[in-house]
Structure 1
């Protein structure tokens, strides 16, 4: 897979999807959003990929935001279409049945942090800066930020971040519950890859089904959510992975999963 604005590397079941516009601090233009969507779909279909890591090229920015140069002259309809491109791309990351980890290695502002919020787990460098500065530009987060941030940290905290446009450090983001873990900058990818390896060692079909249940829990009533859980739990028992996992436990050995 080759892209103009992305680097995609696959090694031993783990794919690293890197936004590669360092001169623009990895800002998201329409072309990049389309490429993220395409790459996500391709990784979803790739049976050799079990975990995806998303990060930014360079040492300054994860993704500094959406491309203001492209946005500044858009009209209302064009703005809506630009937003939809972001929705489509990030929904691909959010809804694929494989875990996606964000390695936030620097500035993650506006659309940049919206990418991270679409991932399942967020690890941040201690040098990372996070925020939604859109209101300072006369707009607001339009790539899912108003929805995902509110569901993650609650309405009041999401409103404070979005209304003020303030930028916060990684430690404060962790305290708010916006990121899972803060690690020393130089250790970020090592920590993220260790996490990816740990996840990869478990049953991938079960993880994909669990992800579906967790993601849908916020949009379903309890009875419907529990019905989905029972259905997906049952589906696990039709897999070779479940037989291997439980047989390995009984035989006191490490399970070898194949995603089947």
Structure 2
């Protein structure tokens, strides 16, 4: 990962949000790896100023937050190795499909650097503090199968089936009502910060807005007519 790639991803994600014809997103890598992490060669040259490093870190964090907060579901198709910043990015997605034999690792503490994409928050949320400390402090390699077993990933499949599985999940997500999906993603991500009363209040607001939508009426008609609904996002 480098600044140019983060900026390109940021621009692409914003474009996908603004396109109403796109209702779910699959994020994957090209070649044998999903993402090998930060460009260590560039960092090792020490040519960046303090301010340039800050710009790089903040660009990466904007991409992380976009993946987490954009109103459309994102499925990570981890087709191969995912290390450091690359693994951070996968875990910012809503669902994660990973190759069983993929090698995954958080190497930051072994390199004298630190996490910058919310890893200390995201990993604890997914697997709990005890397992998170093991993964982040030891920085050992683990497999995609391990990731699914501990709750870091939703599916571990053979490498040649990763993109197909992720795409099938995205297709299923895309068939849901867009407004309902937006509220589900938002409230689920907020859940750990809310008490029960606050969560109930937010659900009431979301439910009322959905019940006032055209898609709610379409959902009722489709159910009665025993056909798939055709949602428009309104």
Report the TM range for the smaller structure's normalisation: over 0.9
Give ranges in structure 1 of 5+ residues lacking alignment.
1-27
**Counterpart contact for 2:99–2:145, Cα < 8 Å:** no
Q: Tell me which residue corresponds to 2:42.
A: 70
The count of residues paired between Structure 1 and Structure 2 equals 232
Q: Tell me which residue corresponds to 2:22.
A: 49
Write the distance in 1 (CA, Å) between the matches of 2:216 and 2:5: 38
TM-score, length-scaled by structure 2 = 0.94
1:222 aligned onto 2:196: yes
**Counterpart contact for 1:140–1:162, Cα < 8 Å:** no
Q: Cα RMSD over matched residues?
A: 1.4
1:157 aligned onto 2:167: no
Tell me the CA shift for residue 62 of structure 1: 0.2
**Counterpart contact for 1:104–1:122, Cα < 8 Å:** yes
What is the CA deviation profile of residues 205-242 of structure 1, one whole-angstrom value per residue up to 9, with x for unaligned ones? 11111111111112223322221121112111121111
Q: Tell me which residue corresponds to 1:248.
A: 222
Decide which of 79, 82, 88 is 1:108's aligned counterpart: 82
Tell me the CA shift for residue 78 of structure 1: 4.2
Secondary structure of the 1:61 match is: coil
1:87 aligned onto 2:61: yes
Write the distance in 1 (CA, Å) between the matches of 2:83 and 2:139: 10
Write the distance in 2 (CA, Å) between the matches of 1:44 and 1:218: 25
Greater fraction strand: 1
**Counterpart contact for 1:54–1:103, Cα < 8 Å:** yes
TM-score, length-scaled by structure 1 = 0.85
Secondary structure of the 1:63 match is: coil
Structure 1 residues 18-37: aligned runs within 5 Å: 28-37=1-10
Higher relative contact order (CA 8 A, sep 6+): 2
**Counterpart contact for 1:102–1:121, Cα < 8 Å:** yes
Secondary structure of the 2:193 match is: coil
Against the structure 1 CA distance between its residues 156 and 77, is the aligned structure 2 distance closer, same or farther, given a 3 Å change threshold? farther
Give ranges in structure 2 of 5+ residues lacking alignment.
none
Write the distance in 2 (CA, Å) between the matches of 1:159 and 1:83: 23
Q: Tell me which residue corresponds to 1:61.
A: 33
Write the distance in 2 (CA, Å) between the matches of 1:42 and 1:216: 25
1:203 aligned onto 2:163: no
